[in-house]
Every structure is written in C-alpha cells, then in structure tokens.
Amino acid sequence: MAHQSHLRFHIRFPEDKIRQPIIYQIGHEYNVVTDVRRADVRDTTGWADVEFSGETTEIERAVEGLRKKGCVVDPIELNVVE
Amino acid sequence: MSKMKALVCRECGKEYPTKAIHVCEMCFGPLEVKYNYDEIKEVISRKTIADGPNSMWRYLDLLPVEGTNFVGPHAGLTPLVRAKNLGAYLGLNELYIKNDTVNHPTLSFKDRVVAVALTRARELGFETVACASTGNLANSVSAHAAAANLHCYVFIPGDLEAAKVLGNLIYKPHVVEVEGNYDDVNRLCSEIAGEHGWAFVNINIRPYYAEGSKTLAFETVEQLGWKTPDQVVIPMASGSLLTKIWKGLHEMKYVGLIDQVRTKVNGAQAEGCSPISTAFKGGYDFFKPVKPKTIAKSLAIGNPADGYYALKATAESYGAMDMVTDEEVVEGIQLLAQTEGIFAETAGGVTIGVLKKLVKQGIIKKNEVTVAYITGNGLKTQEAVIDAVGRPTRIQPSLVAFEKTFKLRKNGGGDA
C-alpha cells in the first residue's frame, strides 16, 4: 500500500483567481482530501491554510496542480530556511 | 508548578502541553510559550538576575527550559556600546549598539535562540537536532550540537557559497546539500520534520527557539540601568526577533522588573527583500511574499513566518519600518566600522541604514535613548564589502619611502 500522508500548506491565491473554487477543484482533480482550517479572502488578496490527506505522490501532484493554477504553495510554517 | 504554563496558539488561544509541537491542531496557527507570570514574579528580582551567570542564562526564570543543564552556557550578555561617534554623526545624543557580533560561540544572535532550542530539545529527550539554513543558524546549530554531543543534520541549498558550507563542515555535522533551490529545501525540511523524530530547531522546536531572542530585550534593559529605551531598531528576516523583543520588554513589566514599557520598536529590511516593511509603509496588516534579491542574505526570507506579528507589534508600539538599498547596506557597514570599530555583517548594515533614515525623517529624535541591534559579525560576509574598502597603500621597504608616502617629518609627534 502506498504511503499515506497528511501534509499542511499555506496557499496564496492570485488576484484573478480569488473568486474561483480552487480548493474544491483540486479535491476533484486529484485523489486527495482537502481540509481548510483557516483562511482570509479579501477583494485583492486571499490565502488558506489547508491539510491535504492522501498518498504522498498524489499530494505532490495536487500541489503541482495548484501551482499551475497560479497559486503560491508553502509549507504551513512558511519559510523555515534562516 | 512549572514556570511554563502551556504552548498556546497565537491565533485561536487553544493550549497544548509543552512538548515538541509548533502548529495548532485546530486552526494551524503557530504556537508560542505561555508562562505563569504570577509565580515567576515571586522568585525573580533584579538581584537574582545580577547574581546569576554572566550569560543570557541569568534570565532563566523567563526562558522555556526546566533545568540548568544548559547547551550553550556562554551565549549572550554581549556589550551594549555607547556609540558616541556614530551618535554624533547621526545627530543622536544617546545611541547604543547592542553588539551581538561577539556573541558566543559563532558570532551571531543565533547563538541565543539555538542555546535555548537545544537545551529544551535535550530536556525533551531528543538525541538528533536539525535545521534548514543558509548561514548563521546552521553555524550555530552545528557548533552547539558538537559541544553537546548531539547528532546534527544541517540542510542547505545546493548553490550555497563554499565559505558558508565550510563554516558548517568544520563542526562535522551531517551537511545535507539538497539538489534544488531555497524553496525546495524549505518544503523538504517541513516534510522531514513531520516524519522523523528529530528536533528541528526552526520547525517543531520553534516555540522554544524563538524565545531566546527575548534575552536581547532583557539585557538591553538591565544594561541601561533597568530602563527601557525610547527607540529600538531591529533587523527583520522572519520578523520573529522583533516580536520577541517586544514580548520580552512586556514580560519585564509583568514580573515587576520595570514599571513601564515606553519603547517604540522599528523594523529594518533590505529593499531586495522587504515584504514586511513594504506592507507597513503601505498601511497593510498583511504582506505579500517576495523572491529575495539582496546582499543581506541573512535577512532574505521572502515569506516570513512572523511577518504578520511583526507588523502588529510595531503598530502597537507606535514604531516604524523602512528599508534600504544594497548600496546603503554597504555604507551602513562601513559607517558602523569607521565610527565605532564594530564590523557587522550585512544585516547590521541594514539596521544602521534604516536607523539613519529614521533619524533623517524625524521619526527618531535627537534626545531619545536609541538602541540599534547588530546581530552578526562582518567576518562572515566579507564578500559584501570587498569592492568598497579600497586597497592597502603599497610602499618600498624603506623609511624614506614610508615618510614620503605619508608626508611625515621626523619627530613630528607620535608616541616615541
């Protein structure tokens, strides 16, 4: 059985995609469960803290899919390289 | 009862036991240490601090460790230098430099946070410590781990400069060069921290690690004769240092060491990586991540974890933020060296550059007691100033040549 993971991300949406259901789309396009825990969406900016559950490789594909839609995806800790 | 009450979510306030966790399970907000201030107040005093060790551990009652088996026992208690020459140049009557270029053992303020992180990690039973770093943090974790006989993994981007890699290898940690850029290292380390039972100082140990920065505030106040400064200028990377100095100042009030906090905290960034300062100047309470491009690499964090909290602390204190160009960074390094004899790394150039700007703008005033935090040693970033310092004056090996070059006359004064 493939390795199951629960990975948490901070996702920032591009201004022109704020009104699109991107998290919903990702949950349908890839075999991952998305769980939004915190978010802030305004007129020109938006972000969400989300946990993705599923096979590690599928989560990686989903993250790549988010990036292709123009989202910036970081670990939940944001930048840790100091 | 322990002086540490809990880890508490900075967003929703949910409390957790004081273990190696850093994210709230409810809202994914960051955790920080909450203390039993009423109990600490009963045991701490100016005298107990003065009678303590000549290191940052004299503030043990306000640090998140349980015992006294310290890793990094000599960190902190660096000089607070009365900067008369630089003050005169800038037009400030009472300017001080908090000089962490001489912090022990690796010459940056990171020795404070790493000493706390590794002491706590050992208390929690960890035998392996790790960090993701491009410079000062890796040096400090490697050195402290060597001295404490802890296994150590340091993750660095594959394109890091040779000198910086050497500064880690000398302590013989496992230096893991990740084939990829900064973002790849960032993501990988977050995943490793989630999967392995290691103490990642800036990930799962971060709530403890960050508390070490408070000692800069504690020392400043003690060294000023138990008074808070009017103005402080602090370099910002993740923004954690600024928020913890603000927290430290208030903790001294909570436990009765001082009566009031009258300090304005000011943040400094380089223009090539200034997400927090840019947000502040635009009047926003949130920042937009950036791709760093600056010589101030120790401050080059494009998506800073504590950026939001740094904005909040600065606003609460009625402080300000600003940023400087790379040319101004180099000028700041030179100015500090040539007026006070302190050779700072690029982050110090950022601090001095922004200090200069804030004075010029009238935000910091002539008679205000001002402290600038210089967080790392210039010997670590010599490449930044190599084109700005000129060359030695070359002469033939004769007295005549020497006197002719410098237009000196015999018996013209001096110490002879």
Give the number of residues written for chain B. 416
**ipTM score of complex:** 0.91
The mean pLDDT of B178-186, rounded to a whole number, is: 80
C-alpha A17, offset from chain centre: 14
The percent of residues above 70 in pLDDT, for chain B, comes to 98
pLDDT above 60: residue B413? no
The percent of residues above 90 in pLDDT, for chain B, comes to 85
For residue A79, give how far its alpha carbon lies from the nearest alpha carbon of chain B (Å): 6
* pLDDT number for residue B411: 66
Mean pLDDT of chain B: 94
Judging contacts by C-beta atoms under 8 Å, the chain A residues touching residue B26 are: 37
Residues of A engaging B, defined by a Cβ cutoff of 8 Å: 7-8, 10, 12, 37-38, 40, 45, 49, 51, 72, 74-82
Q: Please give the Cα distance from B193 to B363 (Å, whole number).
A: 42
Contact B289/A76, CB-based, under 8 Å?
Answer: no
pLDDT in tens, B234-274: 999 999 999 999 999 999 999 999 999 999 999 999 999 99
- Nearest CA to B326 out of B295, B303, B364, B284 is that of B295
Judging contacts by C-beta atoms under 8 Å, the chain A residues touching residue B190 are: 75-77, 80
pLDDT above 60: residue B131? yes
pLDDT above 70: residue B290? yes
For residue A78, give how far its alpha carbon lies from the nearest alpha carbon of chain B (Å): 5
Judging contacts by C-beta atoms under 8 Å, the chain A residues touching residue B189 are: 80-81
- Nearest CA to B100 out of B345, B369, B334, B353 is that of B345
Contact A82/B194, CB-based, under 8 Å?
Answer: no
Contact A45/B29, CB-based, under 8 Å?
Answer: no
Contact A75/B190, CB-based, under 8 Å?
Answer: yes
Judging contacts by C-beta atoms under 8 Å, the chain B residues touching residue A7 are: 191, 194
Specify the residue for token string 């103005």. B231
Contact A37/B305, CB-based, under 8 Å?
Answer: no
Domain regions of chain B by residue span: 1-30, 31-53+110-209, 80-105+210-384
* pLDDT number for residue B192: 86
Which residues does residue B172 pair with via DSSP β-bridges, in sequence order? none
pLDDT in tens, B18-31: 999 999 999 999 99
Closest partner residue to A81 (CB to CB) among B27, B182, B194 is B182
Q: Please give the Cα distance from B346 to B333 (Å, whole number).
A: 7
Closest partner residue to B304 (CB to CB) among A49, A51, A79 is A79
Residues 6+ apart with CB under 8 A from B91: B359, B366
Which H or E run contains A82?
none
C-alpha B296, offset from chain centre: 13
Judging contacts by C-beta atoms under 8 Å, the chain A residues touching residue B28 are: 8, 37-38, 49, 51, 76
For residue A38, give how far its alpha carbon lies from the nearest alpha carbon of chain B (Å): 6
pLDDT above 90: residue B191? no
Give the number of residues written for chain A. 82
* pLDDT number for residue A39: 95
* pLDDT number for residue B197: 84
Mean pLDDT of chain A: 92
Quick one: B87 exposed, middle or buried, by C-beta within 10 A (0-12, 13-18, 19+)? buried
According to CATH, the topology of domain B31-53+110-209 is Rossmann fold (3.40.50)
Question: How many inter-chain contacts (A to B, CB under 8 Å) are there?
Answer: 83
* pLDDT number for residue B414: 54
Q: Record the tokens describing residue B267, joined without a space.
A: 């943040």
pLDDT in tens, B311-367: 999 999 999 999 999 999 999 999 999 999 999 999 999 999 999 999 999 999 999
Cis upstream peptide for A14 (omega within 30°): no
Q: Are the CB atoms for B345 and B377 separated by under 8 Å?
A: yes
pLDDT band at residue B401 using 50, 70 and 90 as cut-offs:
very high
pLDDT above 70: residue B415? no
pLDDT in tens, B385-395: 999 999 999 99
Closest partner residue to A75 (CB to CB) among B187, B286, B301 is B187
Q: Interior CA angle at B344 toward B357 and B224, to 5°?
A: 75
pLDDT above 50: residue B416? no
Closest partner residue to B303 (CB to CB) among A7, A51, A74 is A74
Give the SS3 label for residue A4.
strand
For chain A, which domains are there?
4-75 (3.30.70.260)
pLDDT above 70: residue A1? no
Q: Please give the Cα distance from B29 to B13 (Å, whole number).
A: 9
Q: Please, what sign has the CA dihedral across residues B171, B172, B178, B184? A: negative
- Nearest CA to B242 out of B259, B275, B267 is that of B267
CA closest to A3 among chain B residues: B195
Contact B133/A82, CB-based, under 8 Å?
Answer: yes
For residue A25, give how far its alpha carbon lies from the nearest alpha carbon of chain B (Å): 22
Q: Please give the Cα distance from B252 to B236 (Å, whole number).
A: 23
The mean pLDDT of B63-75, rounded to a whole number, is: 97
Domains B31-53+110-209 and B80-105+210-384 share a fold: yes
The mean pLDDT of B199-218, rounded to a whole number, is: 96
Task: Record the pTM.
Answer: 0.95
For residue A80, give how far its alpha carbon lies from the nearest alpha carbon of chain B (Å): 6
For residue B372, give how far its alpha carbon lies from the nearest alpha carbon of chain A (Å): 21
Contact B27/A49, CB-based, under 8 Å?
Answer: yes
pLDDT above 50: residue B50? yes
pLDDT top residue among B195 and B49: B49
Q: What is the 3-state secondary structure (H, E, C) of chain B?
A: CCCEEEEEECCCCCEECCCCCCECCCCCCEEEEEECHHHHHHHCCHHHHHCCCCCHHHHHHHCCCCCCCCCCCCCCCCCEEECHHHHHHHCCCCEEEEEHHHCCCCCECHHHHHHHHHHHHHHCCCCEEEEECCCHHHHHHHHHHHHCCCEEEEEEECCCCHHHHHHHHCCCCEEEEECCCHHHHHHHHHHHHHHCCCEECCCCCHHHHHHHHHHHHHHHHHHCCCCCCCEEEEECCCCHHHHHHHHHHHHHHHCCCCCCCCCEEEEEEECCECHHHHHHHHCCCCCCCCCCCCCCHHHCCCCCCCHHHHHHHHHHCCCCEEEECHHHHHHHHHHHHHHHCCCECHHHHHHHHHHHHHHHCCCCCCCCCEEEEECEEHHHHHHHCCCCCCCCCCCCCCHHHHHHHCCCCCCCCCCC
Q: Please give the Cα distance from B345 to B108 (Å, whole number).
A: 9
Closest partner residue to B190 (CB to CB) among A45, A80, A82 is A80
C-alpha A70, offset from chain centre: 11
Strand order in the sheet with B174-178: B174-178, B151-157, B128-132, B199-200
The correct answer on CATH 1.10.3720.10 for the domain covering B80-105+210-384 is no
For residue B299, give how far its alpha carbon lies from the nearest alpha carbon of chain A (Å): 8
Q: Are the CB atoms for B307 and B238 separated by under 8 Å?
A: yes
For residue A62, give how far its alpha carbon lies from the nearest alpha carbon of chain B (Å): 15
Give the SS3 label for residue A10.
strand
Residues 6+ apart with CB under 8 A from B342: B81, B97, B99, B101, B336, B348, B374
Contact A82/B137, CB-based, under 8 Å?
Answer: yes
Which residues does residue B374 pair with via DSSP β-bridges, in sequence order? B99
The mean pLDDT of A13-41, rounded to a whole number, is: 95
